[in-house]
Amino acid sequence: MKGAQETRTMTIADLALDLRGTDFQRAVWAALREIPPGCTMTYAEVAARIGRPGAARAVARACAANPVALAVPCHRVVPASGGTGGWRWGAARKRVLLAKEGAR
């Protein structure tokens, strides 16, 4: 079409973020942004992904310190024992987000 402009929908993943935290926290938060919608990882899997196997509890603390819930999708991280685990913004809200994303 002549004169038509292309439109592009921005997503949360497109946002440039200036997150302040420790090197470890920023590594965790970067890994979380790579988890696609509808997918989950365990805290231990995130720890292994950033080269820190055995740091699952520290990953959980980094998730709890995440200041931007949806831009850094910490709701996609779940305990290895099953369930959704807790979440800074409430376990019920985490379950709703995971359900909306069709998490598996």
What is the domain partition of the chain in residue ranges?
19-101
pLDDT digits (tens), the chain, 104 positions: 455 566 555 455 566 666 788 999 999 999 999 999 999 999 999 999 999 999 999 999 999 999 888 888 999 999 999 988 888 889 999 999 999 998 76
**Choice among 46, 56, 72, 74 that is catalytic:** 74
Which CATH code, of 1.10.620.20, 1.10.10.10, 3.40.50.2300, 3.30.1240.10, is assigned to 19-101?
Answer: 1.10.10.10
DSSP 86-97: --TT-HHHHHHH
Q: Note the pLDDT of residue 4.
A: 55
Q: Note the pLDDT of residue 63.
A: 95
Q: Note the pLDDT of residue 1.
A: 46
Q: Where are the alpha helices (DSSP H) in 1-104?
A: 23-32, 43-49, 56-64, 91-101
C-alpha pair distances (Å), 39 with each of 1, 2, 104? 38, 41, 6
For the question of residue 74 being annotated catalytic, the response is yes
